[in-house]
Structure 1
Amino acid sequence: MTIAIIEFGGSNCNLDVLHVLEDVVGVDAERVWYKETDLDRFEGAIIPGGFSYGDYLRSGAIASRTPIINSVKKIADEGKPIMGICNGFQILTESGLLNGALMTNKYPKFRCEWTNLRVETTDSPFTSAFKEGEVIRIPIAHMDGNFYADEATLSTMEDEKLVTFRYVDKEGRVTDEVNPNGSQENIAGILNGKRNVMGLMPHPERAAESILGSNDGLRMFQSMVEYINNR
């Protein structure tokens, strides 16, 4: 098994993801530059965080138009798991692989802090190792994390349980006070309709070892690997 880590000019969390996959989870991973046009040799892919192309135009807009995105779409169509973290989430929405959009935070300021997330579904390649309703601790680091979708899309997402994580307090309650960016319905992560593509704004790779203050994020990578092994 080898998982691709997709890199663009401005990616800055690629080495963190590589460390988690190789040194913590114990699987092979390979950094893949955005000019690559064939991802068939990989069993899955992660688009890490950062500031691809300096967030010019819109966060993720330029990266979503690079050659590798067609290859990402191809392996997604084949059912292989794709995870987009922070800027990766923005790229997935800009490319149409996920619904909605990520706008500037309601209070237009870069937020870098710990957040509590409630696990909304375990029926995905990325959340199977969790318990539904469980509260986990994962940090954020973004300025454009304000998730928006129209009412019809939000309704479909709720009906099909396509929301993976919401910002909550320590007791698991959804409140405006704990929403760090103004996201609708406190949404922190979502799935596509086939459930094999996930985007989330928090950084699980920064919470994959207890020495970092939390290892709750590790289970996202472990869930992904288990899914690949069982395909």
Structure 2
Amino acid sequence: MVRAVVFDVGETLIDETRIWSRWADRLGVTRLTMLGLIGACAALGRPVTDALQTARPGIDLAAEEAAWAADDPDGLRSGFDADDLYPDVVPALTALRASGLRLVVAGNQPAAALAALRAMDLPVDEIRNSAELGVEKPEPAFFAAAAGLAGVPVGEIAYVGDRTDNDVLPAADAGMVPVLLRRGPWGFLHAQRPEAARAHVVDSLLELPDLLRGL
């Protein structure tokens, strides 16, 4: 019986299209090029920062972020806000919480993302990220920390994410119920991998209430 659900952030709750489009504008490449590079990183199993390095070889990301902040101090830049939530997020969270499930948001995100998520007033019980927890997925310690936030036995927790490597397989290894969301470049590609058979695959968060009731 599932009594708690932990959610990844990027391409699970947050549509990252605007983020990468702003990066394209910043680096002087077309948005199609940037999105294509992101897809290539997903297909090749390379870190997403490689897309930025490819668009501008030798880029110092920390220095570029600092310069961007100086140029556009009030803009979102590489951040996000409530307008970037996928349309199914709030209805799904509301339905899950109404069914009595404890809900946690926990993903690999920088410190600034924590404030952005909390400002959305989502119907969840806990919001944490890797910057605050001091450990990143796919490390087992991350999932142990997420289980602690959920406050129920690990076998009664579902972890929902868009990647097999960072999200659902490490969650399954930790004893959680793995749910792979088939959206975003990683979600569509990883759903085709043989190891995705270890997870429950959904195309929308709105499928979760029925799925979890049936487990």
Do both proteins adopt the same fold according to a TM-score greater than 0.5, normalized to the shorter chain?
no
Relative to total residues, which structure has the larger helix share, 1 or 2? 2
Relative to total residues, which structure has the larger strand share, 1 or 2? 1
- Select the structure of larger CA radius of gyration: 2
Higher RCO (CA < 8 A, seq sep 6+): 2
Query: With structure 2 as the length reference, what TM-score do the two structures score?
Result: 0.33
Query: With structure 1 as the length reference, what TM-score do the two structures score?
Result: 0.31
